[in-house]
Amino acid sequence: MEFKTLRNIENSFRQIRLYAIVFAVLCLSVVGFSLWKSYSFADEQRQKIYVLDNGKSLMLALSQDASINRPVEAREHVRRFHELFFYTGTR
């Protein structure tokens, strides 16, 4: 009688260990998939350029190469910064 109980405990321990390993593998696969999708999404978003139309509306300017629009984007950012920073409200 005692040996059957011991055998059941061993089988239960093996089963619990198997479930824990399967659960850990599933968790790691979900984390890996999430990281992969987030990096691919971030990579797609880096290719998009958002432009303010006179500070009013946000437009999406898509281009083949984002580096082509970087100088124009930088000039617009500097112009907008100076406009907002040095505006005294006495117009």
Q: Please give the average pLDDT of every successive group of 10 residues along the chain, which has 91 residues.
A: 69 93 98 97 82 60 63 82 79 57
State residue 1's pLDDT score.
47
Within a domain: 13: yes
State residue 59's pLDDT score.
59
Residue 44 CB neighbour total at 10 angstroms:
9
Within a domain: 90: no
Q: Does residue 49 contact residue 67 with C-beta atoms inside 8 Å?
A: no
Distance from C-alpha of 83 to C-alpha of 32, rounded to nearest angstrom:
45
Closest of 52, 83, 56 to residue 91, by C-alpha: 83
Domain count, the chain: 2
Within a domain: 91: no
Q: How many angstroms separate the most distant Cα atoms in the chain?
A: 96
Instruction: Give pTM, 2 decimals.
Output: 0.53
Do 39 and 74 belong to one domain?
no
Do 35 and 52 belong to one domain?
no
Within a domain: 42: yes
**Domain hosting residue 53, numbered range:** 47-85
State residue 30's pLDDT score.
98
Distance from C-alpha of 63 to C-alpha of 49, rounded to nearest angstrom:
8
Tokens of 8: 């059941």
